[in-house]
Amino acid sequence: ISTFNGVSIDLHYSSSVFGTHKLLFTNPGVLNFDGCLVLEDLESNSFTPIADSLEYSFNSNPLMASGVRFKLHYFPTSEVTVTDVTCSGSHNGSIHVGFGGEPPFSATLTSATAITEVFNDSIGIFDHLSVGTYQVEIGGGKGCANEQFQVELRNPSELVVSNDLVNPSPGDCDGLIRVDAMGGTPPYTYYINGIAGQVADSLCSGVYTVAVVDFNGCSYDSELVLGSVTTVIEDDFGSPGFFKIVPNPSNGQFIIYSDKNVNLRIYSSMGQLVRDCAVNGSKEIDMSDLSKGVYHIKDMETGSVTEVVLF
Protein backbone atom coordinates (compact mmCIF):
# COMPACT_ATOMS: atom_id res chain seq x y z
CA ILE A 1 0.00 0.00 0.00
CA SER A 2 1.55 3.29 -1.01
CA THR A 3 1.87 6.00 1.61
CA PHE A 4 2.46 9.70 1.00
CA ASN A 5 6.06 9.27 -0.13
CA GLY A 6 7.00 5.67 0.59
CA VAL A 7 5.45 2.23 1.13
CA SER A 8 3.43 0.65 3.90
CA ILE A 9 2.94 -3.00 4.84
CA ASP A 10 0.08 -4.33 6.94
CA LEU A 11 1.14 -6.53 9.86
CA HIS A 12 -1.59 -8.98 10.87
CA TYR A 13 -1.66 -10.04 14.48
CA SER A 14 -3.70 -12.77 16.12
CA SER A 15 -3.68 -13.97 19.72
CA SER A 16 -6.20 -15.52 22.09
CA VAL A 17 -4.25 -14.39 25.11
CA PHE A 18 -5.11 -11.27 27.06
CA GLY A 19 -2.29 -9.11 28.38
CA THR A 20 1.00 -7.56 27.33
CA HIS A 21 2.87 -8.79 24.27
CA LYS A 22 6.10 -7.78 22.59
CA LEU A 23 7.33 -7.34 19.04
CA LEU A 24 11.08 -7.80 18.59
CA PHE A 25 12.93 -6.34 15.59
CA THR A 26 16.45 -7.58 14.89
CA ASN A 27 18.91 -6.55 12.18
CA PRO A 28 16.70 -4.07 10.28
CA GLY A 29 19.91 -2.77 8.70
CA VAL A 30 20.14 -5.85 6.46
CA LEU A 31 17.37 -4.31 4.36
CA ASN A 32 20.00 -1.84 3.08
CA PHE A 33 17.59 1.05 2.65
CA ASP A 34 18.11 4.78 2.69
CA GLY A 35 15.45 6.24 4.94
CA CYS A 36 13.69 5.10 8.07
CA LEU A 37 11.30 2.35 9.19
CA VAL A 38 8.41 3.22 11.49
CA LEU A 39 5.96 0.94 13.28
CA GLU A 40 2.44 2.33 13.49
CA ASP A 41 0.16 0.93 16.20
CA LEU A 42 -3.36 1.45 14.86
CA GLU A 43 -4.97 0.81 18.22
CA SER A 44 -2.89 3.26 20.23
CA ASN A 45 -2.35 5.63 17.27
CA SER A 46 1.39 5.74 17.98
CA PHE A 47 4.46 5.75 15.75
CA THR A 48 7.78 4.22 16.80
CA PRO A 49 11.01 4.33 14.76
CA ILE A 50 12.49 0.87 14.32
CA ALA A 51 16.05 0.35 15.47
CA ASP A 52 18.09 -2.81 15.95
CA SER A 53 16.82 -4.99 18.82
CA LEU A 54 13.73 -2.85 19.27
CA GLU A 55 11.20 -4.41 21.66
CA TYR A 56 7.76 -2.95 21.24
CA SER A 57 5.31 -3.74 24.04
CA PHE A 58 1.55 -3.60 23.55
CA ASN A 59 -1.62 -4.82 25.21
CA SER A 60 -3.84 -7.34 23.47
CA ASN A 61 -7.56 -7.94 23.80
CA PRO A 62 -8.67 -10.80 21.54
CA LEU A 63 -12.29 -9.70 21.80
CA MET A 64 -11.46 -6.38 20.09
CA ALA A 65 -8.83 -7.58 17.62
CA SER A 66 -9.50 -6.51 14.04
CA GLY A 67 -6.81 -8.54 12.31
CA VAL A 68 -4.60 -5.64 11.21
CA ARG A 69 -3.09 -4.17 14.34
CA PHE A 70 0.12 -2.66 12.92
CA LYS A 71 1.50 -1.05 9.82
CA LEU A 72 5.17 -1.02 8.91
CA HIS A 73 6.08 2.19 7.08
CA TYR A 74 9.13 2.93 5.00
CA PHE A 75 9.89 6.65 4.56
CA PRO A 76 12.72 7.61 2.16
CA THR A 77 15.26 10.25 3.04
CA SER A 78 14.17 13.79 2.28
CA GLU A 79 15.79 15.59 -0.63
CA VAL A 80 17.21 19.09 -0.55
CA THR A 81 18.18 20.86 -3.77
CA VAL A 82 19.37 24.39 -4.38
CA THR A 83 18.90 26.91 -7.17
CA ASP A 84 21.76 29.39 -7.20
CA VAL A 85 21.23 33.11 -7.67
CA THR A 86 21.03 34.12 -11.32
CA CYS A 87 23.26 37.19 -11.14
CA SER A 88 26.24 38.10 -9.02
CA GLY A 89 25.02 39.96 -5.93
CA SER A 90 21.31 39.23 -6.44
CA HIS A 91 18.91 37.69 -3.90
CA ASN A 92 16.82 35.23 -5.91
CA GLY A 93 18.33 31.92 -4.87
CA SER A 94 16.13 29.17 -3.45
CA ILE A 95 16.27 25.92 -1.50
CA HIS A 96 13.71 23.19 -2.25
CA VAL A 97 12.81 20.50 0.29
CA GLY A 98 11.21 17.26 -0.87
CA PHE A 99 9.94 15.68 2.34
CA GLY A 100 10.45 11.95 2.73
CA GLY A 101 7.92 11.16 5.44
CA GLU A 102 4.25 11.87 6.04
CA PRO A 103 2.59 15.13 7.07
CA PRO A 104 2.73 17.12 9.19
CA PHE A 105 6.19 18.31 8.20
CA SER A 106 8.48 20.96 9.54
CA ALA A 107 11.56 22.47 7.99
CA THR A 108 13.86 25.02 9.57
CA LEU A 109 16.34 27.00 7.53
CA THR A 110 19.19 28.63 9.41
CA SER A 111 21.88 30.95 8.15
CA ALA A 112 24.04 33.69 9.60
CA THR A 113 21.24 36.21 9.01
CA ALA A 114 17.84 34.54 9.28
CA ILE A 115 15.70 31.60 10.46
CA THR A 116 12.64 30.61 8.43
CA GLU A 117 10.19 27.79 9.15
CA VAL A 118 7.77 25.89 6.92
CA PHE A 119 5.08 23.65 8.40
CA ASN A 120 2.58 21.17 6.93
CA ASP A 121 3.79 21.53 3.38
CA SER A 122 4.47 18.70 0.95
CA ILE A 123 7.22 20.75 -0.74
CA GLY A 124 9.00 23.41 1.23
CA ILE A 125 10.52 26.24 -0.78
CA PHE A 126 12.75 28.85 0.80
CA ASP A 127 13.21 31.65 -1.69
CA HIS A 128 14.59 35.17 -2.06
CA LEU A 129 17.92 33.95 -0.69
CA SER A 130 21.36 35.43 -1.18
CA VAL A 131 24.61 33.50 -1.49
CA GLY A 132 25.88 31.77 1.61
CA THR A 133 25.84 28.54 3.62
CA TYR A 134 22.54 27.32 5.08
CA GLN A 135 21.57 24.56 7.50
CA VAL A 136 18.28 22.76 6.88
CA GLU A 137 16.63 20.67 9.60
CA ILE A 138 13.66 18.54 8.55
CA GLY A 139 11.16 17.00 10.93
CA GLY A 140 8.13 14.83 10.22
CA GLY A 141 7.61 11.35 8.89
CA LYS A 142 5.64 10.12 11.89
CA GLY A 143 8.46 9.10 14.17
CA CYS A 144 11.49 9.44 11.91
CA ALA A 145 14.41 11.27 13.42
CA ASN A 146 15.04 14.83 12.28
CA GLU A 147 17.29 15.12 9.24
CA GLN A 148 20.15 17.60 8.95
CA PHE A 149 21.47 19.08 5.71
CA GLN A 150 24.01 21.77 4.88
CA VAL A 151 23.83 23.45 1.50
CA GLU A 152 25.50 26.39 -0.18
CA LEU A 153 24.14 28.98 -2.60
CA ARG A 154 26.74 30.35 -4.98
CA ASN A 155 27.17 33.32 -7.25
CA PRO A 156 27.61 32.69 -10.95
CA SER A 157 30.85 33.97 -12.38
CA GLU A 158 30.85 37.75 -12.61
CA LEU A 159 29.96 39.33 -15.93
CA VAL A 160 33.16 41.02 -17.12
CA VAL A 161 33.20 43.37 -20.11
CA SER A 162 36.20 44.67 -22.05
CA ASN A 163 36.23 47.38 -24.69
CA ASP A 164 38.49 48.08 -27.65
CA LEU A 165 38.47 51.76 -28.64
CA VAL A 166 39.77 53.57 -31.68
CA ASN A 167 39.63 57.33 -31.15
CA PRO A 168 38.53 59.39 -34.16
CA SER A 169 40.97 61.58 -36.01
CA PRO A 170 40.65 65.29 -35.16
CA GLY A 171 37.62 66.69 -36.95
CA ASP A 172 36.67 63.31 -38.41
CA CYS A 173 34.22 60.51 -37.54
CA ASP A 174 36.29 57.39 -37.99
CA GLY A 175 36.25 56.07 -34.41
CA LEU A 176 35.32 52.53 -33.40
CA ILE A 177 34.07 50.67 -30.32
CA ARG A 178 34.16 46.89 -29.94
CA VAL A 179 32.69 45.20 -26.86
CA ASP A 180 33.54 41.70 -25.57
CA ALA A 181 32.11 39.87 -22.55
CA MET A 182 33.03 36.84 -20.47
CA GLY A 183 31.67 35.25 -17.32
CA GLY A 184 28.01 35.38 -16.41
CA THR A 185 25.85 33.04 -18.48
CA PRO A 186 26.27 33.13 -22.28
CA PRO A 187 24.97 34.00 -24.81
CA TYR A 188 25.30 37.77 -24.55
CA THR A 189 23.40 40.63 -26.15
CA TYR A 190 25.40 43.81 -26.80
CA TYR A 191 24.18 47.39 -27.13
CA ILE A 192 26.15 50.49 -28.09
CA ASN A 193 24.18 53.71 -27.66
CA GLY A 194 21.01 51.62 -27.47
CA ILE A 195 21.62 49.87 -30.80
CA ALA A 196 22.13 46.10 -30.72
CA GLY A 197 25.56 45.06 -31.89
CA GLN A 198 29.01 44.19 -30.66
CA VAL A 199 30.83 46.69 -32.89
CA ALA A 200 30.05 50.30 -33.80
CA ASP A 201 32.19 52.23 -36.29
CA SER A 202 32.25 55.59 -38.07
CA LEU A 203 32.00 57.25 -34.67
CA CYS A 204 32.65 60.90 -33.90
CA SER A 205 34.13 62.21 -30.66
CA GLY A 206 31.67 61.95 -27.81
CA VAL A 207 30.26 59.91 -24.94
CA TYR A 208 28.81 56.48 -25.76
CA THR A 209 26.82 54.07 -23.60
CA VAL A 210 27.66 50.38 -23.63
CA ALA A 211 25.40 47.65 -22.23
CA VAL A 212 25.71 43.87 -22.12
CA VAL A 213 22.94 41.47 -21.04
CA ASP A 214 23.58 37.76 -20.50
CA PHE A 215 21.18 34.82 -20.80
CA ASN A 216 19.94 35.21 -17.20
CA GLY A 217 19.21 38.91 -17.67
CA CYS A 218 22.28 40.02 -15.73
CA SER A 219 23.47 43.33 -17.11
CA TYR A 220 26.54 45.50 -17.29
CA ASP A 221 26.55 49.10 -18.45
CA SER A 222 29.08 51.88 -18.66
CA GLU A 223 29.97 55.02 -20.55
CA LEU A 224 32.89 55.27 -22.92
CA VAL A 225 34.44 58.44 -24.28
CA LEU A 226 35.96 58.83 -27.71
CA GLY A 227 38.05 61.91 -28.46
CA SER A 228 41.21 63.10 -30.17
CA VAL A 229 44.19 63.78 -27.91
CA THR A 230 46.63 66.03 -29.71
CA THR A 231 46.30 68.69 -32.37
CA VAL A 232 49.33 69.93 -34.33
CA ILE A 233 49.12 73.46 -35.69
CA GLU A 234 51.26 74.98 -38.42
CA ASP A 235 51.88 78.70 -37.89
CA ASP A 236 52.25 81.30 -40.67
CA PHE A 237 56.06 80.81 -40.80
CA GLY A 238 55.89 77.03 -41.31
CA SER A 239 57.50 76.13 -37.97
CA PRO A 240 55.58 73.52 -35.97
CA GLY A 241 53.67 75.07 -33.12
CA PHE A 242 51.30 72.90 -31.10
CA PHE A 243 49.23 72.65 -27.97
CA LYS A 244 48.46 69.41 -26.19
CA ILE A 245 45.64 68.51 -23.80
CA VAL A 246 46.42 66.07 -20.97
CA PRO A 247 44.47 64.04 -20.10
CA ASN A 248 41.92 63.87 -22.86
CA PRO A 249 39.28 62.60 -22.24
CA SER A 250 39.16 63.95 -18.69
CA ASN A 251 36.83 64.46 -15.76
CA GLY A 252 36.88 68.21 -16.43
CA GLN A 253 40.32 68.99 -15.04
CA PHE A 254 43.16 68.98 -17.56
CA ILE A 255 46.32 70.85 -18.56
CA ILE A 256 46.95 72.61 -21.86
CA TYR A 257 50.59 72.59 -22.99
CA SER A 258 51.87 74.90 -25.74
CA ASP A 259 55.29 75.64 -27.27
CA LYS A 260 54.31 79.28 -27.75
CA ASN A 261 51.99 81.90 -26.29
CA VAL A 262 48.44 81.23 -27.46
CA ASN A 263 45.04 82.74 -26.77
CA LEU A 264 42.41 80.04 -26.60
CA ARG A 265 38.65 80.02 -26.38
CA ILE A 266 36.65 76.96 -25.39
CA TYR A 267 33.14 76.46 -26.77
CA SER A 268 30.41 73.94 -25.99
CA SER A 269 28.97 71.73 -28.73
CA MET A 270 26.15 74.30 -28.97
CA GLY A 271 28.65 77.08 -29.71
CA GLN A 272 28.48 78.74 -26.29
CA LEU A 273 31.73 80.31 -25.03
CA VAL A 274 32.60 78.66 -21.70
CA ARG A 275 36.27 79.62 -21.18
CA ASP A 276 38.67 82.29 -22.49
CA CYS A 277 42.31 81.83 -21.53
CA ALA A 278 45.89 82.62 -22.45
CA VAL A 279 48.47 79.82 -22.35
CA ASN A 280 52.17 80.46 -21.93
CA GLY A 281 53.87 77.06 -21.74
CA SER A 282 51.12 75.35 -19.73
CA LYS A 283 47.88 76.16 -17.97
CA GLU A 284 45.57 74.15 -15.72
CA ILE A 285 41.93 74.25 -16.78
CA ASP A 286 39.00 73.30 -14.53
CA MET A 287 35.71 72.56 -16.32
CA SER A 288 34.37 70.08 -13.76
CA ASP A 289 31.33 72.30 -13.23
CA LEU A 290 30.21 71.78 -16.82
CA SER A 291 28.20 68.96 -18.35
CA LYS A 292 30.05 66.00 -19.81
CA GLY A 293 30.42 65.93 -23.55
CA VAL A 294 32.57 67.31 -26.35
CA TYR A 295 34.00 70.86 -26.21
CA HIS A 296 35.94 72.74 -28.90
CA ILE A 297 39.17 74.64 -28.18
CA LYS A 298 39.96 77.34 -30.73
CA ASP A 299 43.35 78.98 -31.26
CA MET A 300 42.38 82.62 -31.81
CA GLU A 301 45.55 83.31 -33.82
CA THR A 302 45.41 80.48 -36.34
CA GLY A 303 41.72 79.58 -36.16
CA SER A 304 42.59 75.90 -35.64
CA VAL A 305 40.18 73.90 -33.49
CA THR A 306 40.65 70.73 -31.45
CA GLU A 307 38.33 68.81 -29.16
CA VAL A 308 38.39 67.98 -25.50
CA VAL A 309 36.00 65.38 -24.08
CA LEU A 310 34.60 65.48 -20.55
CA PHE A 311 33.19 62.33 -18.99
CATH number of 160-226: 2.60.40
Fold adopted by 79-153: Immunoglobulin-like (2.60.40)
Question: Is the overall model pTM greater than 0.95, yes or no?
Answer: no
Longest dimension (CA), the chain: 131
Considering the domain delimited by 7-76, tell me its CATH architecture.
Sandwich (2.60)
**Residue ranges of the chain assigned to CATH 2.60.40.10:** 79-153
**Residue ranges of the chain assigned to CATH 2.60.40.3080:** 230-310
Give the pLDDT score at 71: 86
Mean pLDDT of 284-293: 91
Q: Is the pLDDT of residue 1 over 70?
A: no
Dihedral, CA atoms, 128, 134, 135, 138, nearest 10 degrees? 30
Fold adopted by 230-310: Immunoglobulin-like (2.60.40)
Work out the pLDDT band at 200, boundaries 50, 70, 90: very high
CA distance 120 to 101: 11
Q: Is the pLDDT of residue 147 over 70?
A: yes
Q: Is the pLDDT of residue 122 over 80?
A: no
